[in-house]
Structure 1
Amino acid sequence: MRRYLLALLLPLLLPLLSACTSTPDASIQVLQPVQAMPHQSFSVRAVRASGHRTDLEQRFNQAVQNALSAKGYRFTETQPDMQVIYALGLEHEAGIELTPIAVAGTVYTQTRATEDERARLALRILDSKTQALLFQAQISRQLHNPDMSQENFDRGVAKILEGFPAAR
């Protein structure tokens, strides 16, 4: 009877486990800035789309300001050369953790349900005058131990924007 159940469950279990353990790749697309206009200043604005987390805005805004300032751009609220717009979400997601366990020379896999977080970010940098798209990033990642410190926001946004060119 046990063998019969295993034969029925195994074909269903393998696709489920592989789907749970795979994470989508981050997609970052860098477009060349408009050549006719030198960009020197920027503003940052959250787009409050469905799922956007307003409680993370201040830290994310600061991280964008830090990353672009390090590239030589100047933050301004009025008449910027570029507009940074984004939506940032973080939601609970059930996951599965697989751990190998050796018992008397045999290795078994222990399966445990976990409660993780999935972070989603859509970010665009636009030319303020022409609305031309200068940079775009869309990321969806599972976070096992989310640390929402300003330092981690700074590090993450700097990594996302590392391909964006410095100010002229």
Structure 2
Amino acid sequence: MAKINKKMISLCTAAISSLYITGYATTHHAQAVQTAQSNTQADASSNNTSLTSDTTATQTEDTTSETELKDGTFSGTGSNEIGSISVSVTIKQGNITSVEITSDNTRYGQSSISSLPNEVVIRQSADVDTVSGATLSTQDFETAVAQALEQAKA
């Protein structure tokens, strides 16, 4: 049997280590996502108007643009493991005229998602672009806006 040289041992060790780290990171991320979904579902059971997943939020957003919205100011809240965001959405003549972040106690703060309210007004939808580095905050914001729009349905 041939002797394995040191270079080959180093390469194999590096490959095995990177596979281990990738598996650990993937498992950790999956656990965080599962925790977020569990927290969101718990919030939904205590508050019937809360949305439980991005799929539900997307379905609501799609139907919101097709349905008439009643005039007024409506509020919503989105939360997960990093905190929560509350918004106030104003509807005039069936259109979204303003969105204000009324409370943001996420770890990253409002500065990372400050452009999202304007995006909602432009798109007339809770569907906004995800902010890099603030994915969970963006999801909280989308959920909060979708919840407010659900209340505004005529």
TM-score by length of 1: 0.33
Greater helix fraction, Structure 1 or Structure 2: 2
Where relative contact order (Cα < 8 A, 6+ residues apart) is larger, the structure is 1
Greater strand fraction, Structure 1 or Structure 2: 1
TM-score by length of 2: 0.36
